[in-house]
Amino acid sequence: MSRSEALPQGHPSISPAIAPAIAVELSQAAVSFGKPGKTVAALQETNLRIAEGEFVALVGPSGCGKSTILRLTAGLLNPTRGAVIVGGREVGAKALRIGMAFQNPTMLPWLTIERNVMLPLKIVRPFRSDYRAKRRTEFRDRVHALLADVGLDKFANHYPWQLSGGMLQRANLCRALIHEPSLLLLDEPFGALDQFTREELWGTMQSLWLTRKPTVLLITHDLKEAGFLASRICVMSARPGRIIDDSAVVFPRPRTVEMTFDADFVALNQRLRDLIIDARSDTAIQGA
């Protein structure tokens, strides 16, 4: 079955010849937890398409199912209904080339930063078969080059506890990117950092994306962060979530922190903020 057949009908405007390939597609994907008859809906029927090379930010009130979408895309969770298609095939037990980073950097304390970043090469095919032979040569150079990109080259032989939170998060991004994934899934990676470190890391993330162009799905609570990094922002409603707004972010790149004070940028923030506040108050009324 070819990829175009796998996609649902009803998008006549997108001709496969011109449109970029679809990296991620959720079609009517819904998730509910619990025993039959006593289920709790975590995610309502959701449709989401992410084109290759797109940077999509997912914002919404907490507990709305953002992480559920991420876990669906990563293949860590199966949809109760609907389908999740990543890289042209349905997500299942098959290994995909995905990079992931969470708010908690989860570096292994017994390995140096170099070895921590190298960990995916030990596990992902086709690298894993060469790991023993190349870990001191080719793979090592590769890790060092990536660490240099984020300004951590001098810390390759340090242990995680010797690094600050911001540095650990940089290493975490490196670990998510070292195996050159075509899809990068980020779950509030900068959420635990202070304002200045966070803004610094936005810049790092932006340049990593501009040079490598992976498809990115970023979950965040920070609307400024979404506006700074994303090429498209999806807003979700309160639990059980669904996507209530989907809009492109057209600011030119590379974006700077100064731009976040421009009237256009502030207006975008304001609009997203209003959407989320509305979504929150809806549940408050339902719950009352």
Q: Report the interface residues with other proteins, using CB under 8 A.
A: 71, 74-76, 94-96, 98, 100-102, 104, 106, 108-110, 112, 119-120, 122-125, 157-159, 161-162, 175-176, 179, 185
Structure tokens, 31: 């998730």
In the complex, minimum distance from the CB of residue 161 to other proteins, in angstroms, rounded to a whole number: 6
User: What is the H or E stretch that residue 266 is in?
Assistant: helix 263-287
Contact partners, residue 77, CB within 8 Å, separation at least 6: 31, 68, 71
Structure tokens at 94: 């098959």
CB-nearer residue toward other proteins: 109 or 287:
109
Q: What region, left, alpha or beta, does residue 34 occupy, with left being phi > 0 and alpha being psi -120 to 50 degrees?
A: left
- Closest to other proteins by CB, 163 or 235: 163
Helices 165-177 and 113-123, packing angle to 10 deg: 20
Minimum Å gap between C-beta 74 and other proteins is 4
Cα 98 from Cα 59, distance rounded (Å): 21
Closest approach, Cβ 274 to other proteins, in A, equals 32
Minimum CB–partner distance for residue 58 and other proteins (Å): 17
* 110 vs 285, beta carbon nearer other proteins: 110
Q: Which is nearer to other proteins, 94 or 273 (CB)?
A: 94
Instruction: Compute the Cα dihedral for 142, 148, 151, 156 and give only its sign.
Output: positive
What is the nearest approach in angstroms of other proteins to the Cβ of residue 110? Answer: 4
Which of 163, 279 has the CB closer to other proteins?
Answer: 163
Beginning with the edge strand found earlier in the chain, give each strand of the sheet holding 243-248 in spatial order. Answer: 98-102, 183-187, 215-219, 55-59, 232-236, 243-248
Q: Residue 120 or residue 240: which is nearer to other proteins going by CB?
A: 120
Report, in Å, the least distance between residue 100 CB and other proteins: 5
Four-CA torsion 219, 212, 196, 271, nearest 10 degrees: -40
